[in-house]
């Protein structure tokens, strides 16, 4: 609503300068005697603009989290770090209003995430499986949040690597029969030139690419002993603008490189399939209550079981009705066919209905209209008695 109102700032300022009725309206009092609020001044418009810029960040992150037809697990950690960085910067902003709001929101943010220490590690692992980030982006975020060389950042980095190694070994044991050895000659940038990404910079001034600019393209010099090591040591996919304006498809990259990373591709597929948010984006900004959409809802196991049974019953009922309707249509078609056969046989035998035969002879055989009565085409009540009197001769009796 505020974004839409900003588009008409010039119109309201022109009304304030030229329209007397507009100004007089705000000079009047309400029915309860209170003075009307307004009109909006230049200071009010500037405050609205700052609030819109402040909320735009959270709106964009909420939309990214709530996507239902695209991968969200690879974007979640990026958005969380962006939110925390901007909250820290706005906490020291010159605008006192924004500073107070940022401090209050930062307190709630740190209480919820506990400085990202208690975050679900799969949020970070999903980001690592984005070939544009890999482990380098997470390492930079750890250093920016906790300081370079800090024990917390080192602990987070080592714990994420250990968890990914354990996951890889678990998948390798299950898919060992399908796994293929990857030679060292396969190492290098396997990304094709077509895999370029859309620029994620916001129009409202929030730079979402500043963190990525610090990523380098160097590869590790260590020996690779598994698909996971090879993937983490390879060059990252460069972040470039897409001429078509399309978002980067992480799943397509893993689909094309599944022959090179068969075990790791299975792991990445399962991790990237995780849905970050189970709440519709509308409910995050709605005060009217819960909002359910076709993709997300909170249901108990008993309700799910009841819905599944009801769905099965409805499908069986609809199938039975469909079969009954088809049988009825077949019966009607057979009935019409039998009537057509009967009519054709009667026509060949010359035994059509009498009235139809009379009309047929009158119009097509004799071309004369048949008499409807003995007195002609028209008949009046008593006309036959009148004719009979006129034809009676003297000395005869009427019968």
Per-residue tens of pLDDT for the chain, all 399 residues: 777 777 877 887 888 788 778 777 777 777 777 777 777 778 777 777 877 877 787 777 777 777 767 777 777 777 787 888 788 888 887 878 778 888 888 887 777 766 556 678 888 888 888 888 888 888 888 877 777 777 877 888 888 888 889 988 888 888 775 444 444 444 344 443 333 332 333 444 445 555 555 555 444 455 567 888 888 888 888 777 666 666 778 888 888 888 888 888 888 888 888 877 665 555 555 555 555 555 555 667 787 788 778 877 887 777 777 787 887 888 888 877 777 777 777 666 655 555 666 666 666 665 555 555 555 555 555 666 666 767 777 666 555
Dihedral (Cα; 126, 132, 136, 139), 10-degree rounding: -40
- Give the pLDDT of residue 72: 72
Q: Where are the domains of the chain?
A: 41-284, 301-351
> Would you say the pTM of this structure is higher than 0.95?
no
Q: Quick check: 86 and 206 in contact, CB under 8 A?
A: yes
- Secondary structure class of 29 (helix, strand, coil): strand
- Give the pLDDT of residue 198: 29
- Which pairs from 174-181 meet CB under 8 Å and 24+ separation? 175/262, 175/263, 175/266, 178/262, 179/262, 179/263, 180/259, 180/262
- Give the pLDDT of residue 125: 87
Angle at 132 between CA 130 and CA 134, to 5 degrees: 60
- Give the pLDDT of residue 242: 62
- Give the pLDDT of residue 203: 46
Tokens coding 314: 């409805």
- Give the pLDDT of residue 201: 39
- Give the pLDDT of residue 183: 41
- Give the pLDDT of residue 211: 56
- Nearest CA to 271 out of 83, 91, 82, 76 is that of 76
């Amino acid at each position: 609503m505020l974004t839409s109102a900003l588009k008409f700032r010039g119109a309201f300022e022109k009304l304030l300068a030229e329209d007397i009725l507009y100004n007089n309206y705000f000079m009047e009092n309400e029915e309860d005697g209170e003075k009307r609020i307004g009109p909006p001044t230049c200071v009010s418009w500037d405050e609205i603009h700052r609030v819109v810029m402040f909320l735009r960040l959270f709106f964009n992150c909420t939309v990214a989290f709530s996507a239902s037809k695209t991968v969200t697990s690879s974007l979640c950690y990026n958005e969380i770090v962006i939110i925390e960085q901007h909250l820290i910067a706005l906490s020291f902003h010159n605008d006192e209003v924004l500073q107070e709001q940022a401090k209050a929101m930062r307190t709630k943010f740190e209480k919820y995430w506990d400085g990202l220490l208690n975050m679900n590690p799969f949020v970070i692992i999903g980001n690592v499986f984005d070939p544009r980030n890999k482990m380098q982006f997470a390492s930079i975020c750890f250093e920016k949040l906790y300081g370079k060389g800090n024990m917390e950042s080192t602990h987070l980095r080592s714990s994420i690597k250990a968890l990914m190694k354990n996951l890889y070994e678990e998948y390798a044991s299950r898919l060992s029969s399908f796994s293929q050895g990857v030679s060292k000659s396969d190492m290098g940038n396997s990304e094709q030139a077509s895999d370029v990404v859309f620029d994620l910079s916001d129009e409202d001034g929030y730079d979402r690419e500043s963190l990525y600019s610090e990523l380098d393209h160097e590869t590790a010099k260590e020996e690779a002993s598994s698909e996971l090591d090879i993937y983490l040591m390879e060059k990252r996919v460069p972040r470039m603008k897409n001429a078509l304006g399309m978002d980067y498809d992480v799943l397509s990259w893993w689909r094309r490189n599944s022959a090179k990373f068969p075990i790791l591709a299975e792991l990445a597929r399962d991790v990237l399939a995780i849905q970050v948010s189970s709440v519709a984006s509308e409910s995050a900004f709605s005060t009217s209550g819960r909002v359910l959409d076709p993709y997300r809802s909170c249901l108990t196991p008993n309700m799910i079981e009841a819905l599944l049974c009801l769905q099965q019953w409805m499908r069986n009922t609809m199938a039975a009705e469909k079969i009954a309707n088809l049988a009825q249509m077949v019966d009607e078609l057979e009935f019409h066919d039998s009537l057509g056969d009967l009519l054709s046989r009667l026509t060949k035998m010359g035994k059509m209905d009498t009235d139809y035969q009379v009309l047929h002879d009158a119009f097509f055989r004799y071309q004369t209209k048949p008499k409807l009565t003995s007195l002609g085409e028209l008949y009046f009540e008593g006309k036959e008695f009148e004719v009979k009197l006129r034809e009676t001769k003297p000395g005869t009796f009427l019968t």
